[in-house]
Amino acid sequence: MIIRNGNVVLANEVVKTDVLIQGGKIVKIANDIPANGEAEIDASGKHVFPGLIDMHVHLRDPGFEYKEDIESGSKAAVKGGFTQICCMPNTDPVADNKVVVSYIKHKAQEVGLCKVHPIGAITKGLKGEQLAEIGEMKNAGAVAISDDGVTVKSSRIMRLAMEYASGFGVKCLCHCEDKELVDGGVVNEGVSSTIAGLKGIPRASEDIIIAREIALAESLDVPVHICHVSTHSGVRLIRDAKKAGVKVTAETCPHYFSVTDEIVRTFDTRTKVNPPIREEIDRQAILAGLKDGTLDCIVTDHAPHHINDKNVEYNLAAFGISGIETSLGFAITYLYKTGVLTLPEIAEKMSAAPAKILGLQGGKIAEGEVADITIADLDEKWTVDPAKFISKGKNNPFGGYELFGAVKYTIVDGEIKYKA
């Protein structure tokens, strides 16, 4: 295959050129590559990105297939431009052993769309009491461990997890939430929670655990990764830790850099997400953290739910936003078009950095690299319509939002897996 005349997003620049793919690899990047009977894609006026990698999704399979399954999640991922996704272990049964990890790997290979990398649990049953079999899960294909959705309450268990994970060459991905401080809260604690009469979640509930994970990583001299950062104070903690040489990486999500908690005043349960969408001071800090490298990655925390999980009172609704089909659009609209990040920086956050953090192949466009590629039209405007999502989860509060950046092709190992 030859991709012709595209604006190719490289590590430090965007170059109008051709890309030749053979045997699932990028073999040549040059102008006017001579045709030799290959299939051709005319990418004139479009941008050619390294295949997007989402290191934080929920596929709900096994156990909650009515919310999402590996096939529907993979179809939604390639529509969103993702060539690799990493799925969290809060399934039923929990992905805390090699059997469930192997099931996810094999089912994803049968589906054959994007690459699916399971994330194993830190503790058995996500209960925070006993470490899961980290080595066995890694050998079965797990690329990291996390009790996402639950914070490991015991600092001693968390310390052991970081030590063991480091020994096996995987990272702990930490959901940071002091449950006792959350105390049944459902939205950010602030003016909007007061106006709406909804119980608030203080920033400190997130920051205290971020600080703990940083302290453990520093004392053990091992790496740690902080999930879905939402607070300005959390960004500051991570920035200071990085300056001090702590091996910490971090991620955030589109809903934290694009909107504020004023949207919860509508009582639309689709705005209920954990951690909660916060205030403008937090949004600005997250933009600054993305710009200066404090926040390494943009992930979706794709959390699909059945309509019945959201079609209840706000306090009873499930937490989570189905966001894998809108992520690139939010990044282009709220980061690139506003001048916060360049296209190479967006490619870094959505591809190269996740690959580096988890030790995955791909993440950049270069000769010899795996041919995982996303082609998008950055000037095409489209309107978010959750009813048209391929994901089973239609729980997205941004219906009617106009975004730039329409995915045209998703190519995995040199094969077209999605075409608009």
Whether the ω angle into residue 89 lies within 30 degrees of 0, i.e. cis, is: no
- Using alpha carbons, list the distances in angstroms from residue 40 to 6, 15, 339, 416, 419: 12, 18, 32, 11, 13
> Which residue out of 147, 178, 301, 372 is catalytically annotated?
301
DSSP 330-353: HHIIIIITTTSS-HHHHHIIIIIH
- Using alpha carbons, list the distances in angstroms from residue 418 to 9, 22, 46, 371: 19, 19, 16, 14
Phi, psi of 388 (to 5 degrees): -95, 5
Q: Within 221-279, where are the H helices?
A: 232-243, 254-258
What span, in angstroms and rounded, lies between the C-alpha atoms of 417 and 152? 37
What span, in angstroms and rounded, lies between the C-alpha atoms of 209 and 174? 9
Location of structure tokens 């999500």: 253
Active site residue 296: no
DSSP state of 101: H
**Of 97, 108, 144, 116, the residue nearest 53 (C-alpha):** 116
Residues labelled as active-site residues: 301
